[in-house]
Structure 1
Amino acid sequence: MTRLPLLPRLARLPRLARLPRLARPATALAAGAALGMLAAGPASAADPTVTDPHVVAHFDFGAGETPENIALEPDGSADITLAYAHEVVRVDHHGDREPVAELPPVANPQTPNIGAAIATGIARAHDGTLYVAYATGTEETGIWRIATDGALEQIAHLPADGLPNGIALDERCGVLYVADSARGVVWRVPVNGDEPTVWASGPALEPSADLPFGANGLKIHDGAVWVSNTAASALLRIPVGPGPDHAAGPIETRATGLVGIDDFAFTGHSDTVLAALVLDSELELVRPDGSHKTVLTAADGLSNPTSVAVHAKKVYVTSAGYFVPNPDPNLLLARISKNKL
């Protein structure tokens, strides 16, 4: 059985030291909105409800099968990256799984903050092509494409001292947006193999001295790139500008106090989010005004959740089991619905 590095610096930090409160940035929202973001608000009749959580698949922690990110197939099957096994597997509603691809092994990985080679973010194109972020600390660091016939190709090299993490695909523009947790930036990566560029940067995306994981999860939603910053316990929104270069607009802080936020997903067309809080094994519902509440916990089956996806009336949550005494890496499904006003 493989012994995992398990992010040792993060695991050893006391909770308060490893997750400092976010200092209010110069680009913060108006005072009234900011106050609403700093504390959990009361439940709203319009809040989506998350019910019937149940684990449909378990993974082998000792073999490096630590689920990290999800992309959904049209039939609701989940394509999941297994970080330390650097594999992609497909899991259906019944928990049955099949292999999709394995990223190439790296002889001497030097991934920042981790040391091991890990598969992180995943995105799916409409034709079934998959894109996977791979962090190795070597020239293999970057974005890899998995064709529908299983062919594997590195389409972008990213700096070896970076840690590409969450990714999202803009098919209309032919680019991927990639959160870099070590460098604290967002990359714009053309899928045609052209040179990646730093699209967004700044203190709001950066890691901290105590917690070396900044920009983490990433989604495209309603004309903007949304990014979680684990070190800052924050959810950010970056408008995508007009014109051929689609430049990044000012970074907006949309929610704070999300201790240990990893990946997240939108529940629908609104700005309501479900966020995985990896350290406390919680799923948090974040409202458009920035207030938030816990909707699932370890008692429901979460074991250091890393990513969230929503499809029709289902919520998918992967858990990696990184920091708990008895890790249970798994895929959990739940039902999501809207309350009537």
Structure 2
Amino acid sequence: MSAKHARKTLVAAVLAATTLIPAPASAATYPLCAAQIVQHFDLAKGQTPESMVFAPNGTAYVTFAKARQIAEITPGGRVRILATLPAPADGGTGTPALGFPLTVGIERAPDGTLYFAYATGTADLTGVWSLRPGGTPRRIAALPATSLPNGIALDHRTLYVADSTGAIWRVPASGGTATVWSSGQELAPAGFLGANGLRVRDGAVWVTNLDRGTIVRIPVRAGGTAGDTRVVATGLAGIDDFAFTGRGTEILAALDTVNQVALVRPDGTHTVVLTEADGLQGPTTVALRGRDVYVPSAAYLTAKDPNLVRARLR
């Protein structure tokens, strides 16, 4: 073998080896990149973003939990308060697990109506509320004072609401009586909060359990009843709300108590893709618009910088 041919053989071998061994990637760059804080919120005003949903024009709608507010954030970053919910007479001290009233999950209908959960520990205010464009908020379904409504999702004319005391409620989007759709050990808390974030996809309701660090899937049967609950992912400490990436059932989940976002694969395994180094301060949810990933942080535990981080999905 000539020296020239030997060198070519060696180069080819090295190139082949490097294609077999994946290059190491930092948690903050794969599969997300270009993470940066794009908005800071005012902690002193109770601007702790709990949930977020986008309109087609790029306007975001968020719940500021401690301020009991629904807010609009324009694509340019201007924040406008759309509504402040009435305070309970006792200050909300009876709100389960938390001891303060809070606006929680939010969803948007195609006509622009916003649906959101409000937990106060009182029978006159706790429940599902709606806000039409240019209107005023009204409660469309009452929930028990002992409940803690959290994540919410709209599926056609039905709203599903995660109750962190251990259930999922079903509510007509037009308003009416709320009924318990599913309950059980997989949704129950283990000391603090149970069922938390909630999404509907592929004929099933997907719910997180903060205390248990799990994601569960509950099929919607013909006729609308709940099928058997199945745990599809575990080991997700402090999981709050989440979003599907659009690639099958791949999920990006906010891990509130550990200041992380995790990519959860369809087989249930996960990888941390954003951390406190990217600006996370108690992330509460994930919202996608195209390939842009938005992660609001409420800073419940850090009490430093409630903000909004944006990253790019590769």
The verdict on a shared fold, with TM-score over 0.5 as the criterion, is: yes
Task: Quote the offset at 1:48 in angstroms.
Answer: 7.5
Instruction: Tell me what 1:82 maps to.
Output: 64
Q: 1:276 is matched with which residue: 232, 237, 254?
A: 254
Cα pair 1:56 1:93 within 8 Å, conserved: no
Task: Quote the offset at 1:107 in angstroms.
Answer: 2.0
Task: Quote the offset at 1:55 in angstroms.
Answer: 1.3
Q: Distance in 2 between matches of 1:103 and 1:131?
A: 13
Instruction: Tell me what 2:143 maps to.
Output: 158
- Does structure 1 residue 189 correspond to structure 2 residue 205? no
Q: 2:111 is matched with which residue: 104, 108, 127?
A: 127
Residues 130-161 of structure 1 deviation map (CA, whole Å, 9 limit, x = unaligned): 00100000120001100112221100000100
- Does structure 1 residue 302 correspond to structure 2 residue 285? no
Matching residue's letter, 2:296: T
- Structure 1's unaligned 5+ residue stretches are 1-41
Instruction: Tell me what 2:96 maps to.
Output: 112
Instruction: Tell me what 1:203 maps to.
Output: 185
Instruction: Tell me what 1:142 maps to.
Output: 127
Cα pair 2:30 2:273 within 8 Å, conserved: no
Instruction: Tell me what 1:175 maps to.
Output: 158
Instruction: Tell me what 2:213 maps to.
Output: 233
Instruction: Tell me what 2:13 maps to.
Output: none
Cα pair 2:51 2:285 within 8 Å, conserved: yes
Residues 210-244 of structure 1 deviation map (CA, whole Å, 9 limit, x = unaligned): x320000000011100000011100110001112x
Q: Distance in 2 between matches of 1:269 and 1:57?
A: 27
Instruction: Tell me what 1:31 maps to.
Output: none
Cα pair 1:66 1:83 within 8 Å, conserved: yes
Q: What RMSD, in angstroms, separates the aligned Cα atoms of the two structures?
A: 1.5
| Stretch deviating more after TM superposition (221-230 or 60-69) | 60-69
| Stretch deviating more after TM superposition (113-122 or 56-65) | 56-65
TM-score by length of 1: 0.81
Matching residue's letter, 1:180: D
Instruction: Tell me what 1:247 maps to.
Output: 225
Q: Distance in 1 between matches of 2:44 and 2:89?
A: 20
Instruction: Tell me what 1:10 maps to.
Output: none
TM-score by length of 2: 0.88
- Does structure 1 residue 335 correspond to structure 2 residue 294? no
SS across alignment from 2:305 = coil
Cα pair 2:65 2:104 within 8 Å, conserved: yes
Task: Quote the offset at 1:269 in angstroms.
Answer: 4.4
Task: Quote the offset at 1:77 in angstroms.
Answer: 2.0
- Does structure 1 residue 257 correspond to structure 2 residue 240? no
SS across alignment from 2:285 = strand
Task: Quote the offset at 1:315 in angstroms.
Answer: 0.6
Q: Distance in 1 between matches of 2:215 and 2:30?
A: 19
Matching residue's letter, 1:176: L
Q: Distance in 2 between matches of 1:62 and 1:286?
A: 34
SS across alignment from 1:279 = helix
Q: Distance in 2 between matches of 1:141 and 1:59?
A: 26
Aligned-pair identity (%): 49
Residues 271-330 of structure 1 deviation map (CA, whole Å, 9 limit, x = unaligned): 100000001100000000000000000110100000111111111111000111x52101
Report the count of equivalent residues. 285
- Does structure 1 residue 216 correspond to structure 2 residue 201? no
Q: Distance in 2 between matches of 1:225 and 1:272?
A: 15
